[in-house]
Structure 1
Amino acid sequence: MLYTITAPWRHEEEIRKSRFLAQAVPIAHPEEALAWFALVGDASATHNCWAYRVGDAYRFNDDGEPGGTAGRPILQAIDGQGCDRVAVLVTRWYGGIKLGAGGLARAYGGSAAECLRLAPREPIVATGALHMHCDFTELALVSARIRESGGQIARETFDADGAELTVTAPLDRLDAIAARVVDISRGRIQPRRDPG
């Protein structure tokens, strides 16, 4: 199971006189990650190295550190912690002692991993959607049963005859919700699954 973090998180440590600040945020799109890196990177720091993963989309940047010693270890920390939909920036202020390639990889990857390990997390649950039209007379009951069954009404649009509902729920609950709606409406409401 994959996880995402539920709030921005920071973790700071000193490694052989260099200061490392790891910051992580939840993201939905790669563009969010790039904008966040530009916003929180510290221009006065020696290096601002980063990585993000959103499903199959990922990128990393060593920001002047030797190739493969910063960005890739941060990405490996994201994967190693079982995370997705996260961006991690590790900022380094050089303290005068060279760490070597292995030391840099351990410092960047370790700081990122510890930041993600300590951050509040939640599982990423695959969701789907149902669409249905409901008469006004059945709307309150149908809405209540949808919520009781683990669904959420994501959108409600009204017309002269009732409401068009878009219901989101975990994929493994969609069939049960649809069956319950058909049952309580005695077949008058026929939920349709999102084609995606």
Structure 2
Amino acid sequence: MGYRTLARRALHEAVIKHSTFVAVAAPLAGGAGVESLLATRRAAMPSASHHVWALRRGDELRWSDDGEPAGSAGRPVLEVVLKRDLDRVAIVVSRVFGGTKLGVGGLARAYAGSAARALDAAGERVVEASERWLVRLPYASVDVVMRRAGDDPAVQRCEARYDATGALLTIELLQADAERWETVLADLTRGDAVVATRFEIDAP
């Protein structure tokens, strides 16, 4: 139910046959894509001839060779991410050409190796997937549900708002415990609780 991602943003620089390769790896939060990281790297390295990138977010796999020979850059970078089973990760590898051509195989090794070293520097962490629920329930059930939520380590947040028809609880909990909490709500409210909306959220 969780996923492995990067612990922090990290940079690795290497000179390979006179070309400078600078790789930056970063975890992705929310709906962020590679665009912000790519813009930052282009601004930081205007002399780079190529800004190769790769991204993985769940089933979304994207990459760009940015003018390098097809298959020599973006895909090898993505393969490094996939082999480590990392998710919600973006990598940009910028190259300042040093005058020596590396060939397709040499480019693939240089880009993949630079990406791998950036991932090493970034470290990894396991994120437990969480959900946010908006739950409609009667006034009479609020206290007992709030107490149960406060005693359960799987519940990360439980807040109540009130209106003329009852209460609306915002509950954030570990996705692994979602099915159990469906039963908890049904039992505590005698079936009167209604989960109006639920969606996955990013862990802090």
Superposition TM-score tier, normalisation by shorter sequence: 0.7 to 0.9
CA contact (8 A) 1:146 1:181 kept: no
Aligned to 1:152: 156
User: SS at the partner of 2:13?
Assistant: strand
Aligned to 1:39: 40
1:172 and 1:13, CA in 2 relative to 1: closer, same or farther beyond 3 A? same
- Compute the TM-score of the two structures, normalised by the length of structure 2: 0.77
CA contact (8 A) 1:143 1:153 kept: no
Name structure 2 gaps, 5 residues minimum: 200-204
Kindly state the Cα deviation for residue 107 of structure 1 after the two structures are TM-superposed.
0.9
Aligned to 1:176: 180
Q: Which moved more, 1:34-43 or 1:70-79?
A: 34-43
CA contact (8 A) 2:141 2:189 kept: no
Match of 2:169 among 165, 178, 187: 165
Aligned to 1:105: 108
Name structure 1 gaps, 5 residues minimum: none
Larger RCO (alpha carbons 8 Å, 6+ apart): 2
Q: Which moved more, 1:103-112 or 1:127-136?
A: 127-136
Aligned to 1:5: 6
- Compute the TM-score of the two structures, normalised by the length of structure 1: 0.79
Q: Distance in 2 between matches of 1:188 and 1:50?
A: 50
Q: CA offsets, 1:68-121, max 9 Å, x none?
A: 111111111111121121111001122333322111101101111221233133
In the alignment, is residue 24 of structure 1 matched against residue 28 of structure 2? no
User: SS at the partner of 1:32?
Assistant: coil
Report the count of equivalent residues: 195
1:47 and 1:30, CA in 2 relative to 1: closer, same or farther beyond 3 A? farther
Q: Which moved more, 1:149-158 or 1:102-111?
A: 149-158
1:172 and 1:65, CA in 2 relative to 1: closer, same or farther beyond 3 A? same
User: SS at the partner of 1:74?
Assistant: helix
Between the aligned residues of both structures, percent identity stands at 34
Aligned to 1:192: 195
Q: Distance in 2 between matches of 1:135 and 1:188?
A: 11
Kindly state the Cα deviation for residue 182 of structure 1 after the two structures are TM-superposed.
4.7
CA contact (8 A) 2:27 2:90 kept: yes
CA contact (8 A) 2:11 2:118 kept: yes
2:74 counterpart letter in structure 1: G
